[in-house]
Amino acid sequence: MKKASTFLVGEMRNSVFYENAPFDLRTHMKRKAKEDSVLLLLKTFGEFGPKYTKWIDKMVRESGVSSARHNLLCILRKEGPLKMSELGRLLTVSPTNITLLVDGLEKDGFVERQSDETDRRATRIKLTERAEKEVTFDSDVIFKPAIHLFSSVFEEKEIRELVHYLNQIMEKLPN
């Protein structure tokens, strides 16, 4: 009588094993292949995210400030003066990090603190004239290279499909 392991290895070489397997090996192999593909996708996302962020950060730095600072300045430009807590919520950044960002921007002359007219305890952060003059807020200047990159790799239909799939994944993620 053959050893079980020898039997399995020998029988796997022909389709008899698949037909007589105690579990569906084809399904198992497909599932394993799908899991491997998902792991490859996750690895690729993990590599893409930081590389893309670094590339965008480099372009944003050419506008005069770091990416995190630029995001804060863009929000202030769009929304007007905001409380620190509102900035933190909009940027999904901790109070400590908002304070560090605002302190640095204030030191560089890009924002200033002003008293809130309705709440004496609160301070609002607003853009200075220097920020308006020296920081590039034109998203075309910053994102045109990204638009070119993605357009050179994907057709419009593929971009829409990718956005659709990413949105489906985000909907399934817990908040």
Of the pLDDT bands very low, low, confident and very high (cuts 50, 70, 90), residue 22 is: low
Q: What is the pLDDT of residues 72-123, one digit of tens each?
A: 999 999 999 999 999 999 999 999 999 999 999 999 999 999 988 888 888 9
Q: What is the pLDDT of residues 139-162, one digit of tens each?
A: 777 788 899 999 999 999 999 999
Q: Which of 141, 151, 150 is nearest to 74 (CA)?
A: 141
Residue 20 has pLDDT above 80, yes or no: no
* Whole-model pTM over 0.85: no
Predicted local distance difference test score (pLDDT) of residue 76: 95
Is the Cα dihedral 60, 64, 69, 74 positive or negative? Answer: negative
Q: What is the pLDDT of residues 44-79, one digit of tens each?
A: 999 999 999 898 888 888 777 888 898 899 999 999
H runs (alpha helix) in 21-138:
25-61, 67-79, 84-91, 95-107, 129-134
Q: What is the mean pLDDT of the chain?
A: 85
Measured CA distances, 127 to 13, 73, 98, 141 (Å) = 71, 7, 15, 20
Q: Mean per-residue pLDDT for 7-30?
A: 57
Q: Count other C-beta atoms under 10 Å from residue 15's C-beta.
A: 10
Q: Which domains does the chain have, with CATH numbers?
A: 67-134 (1.10.10.10), 138-175 (no CATH)
Q: Which of 79, 124, 121 is nearest to 98 (CA)?
A: 124
| 8-state DSSP, 23 | S
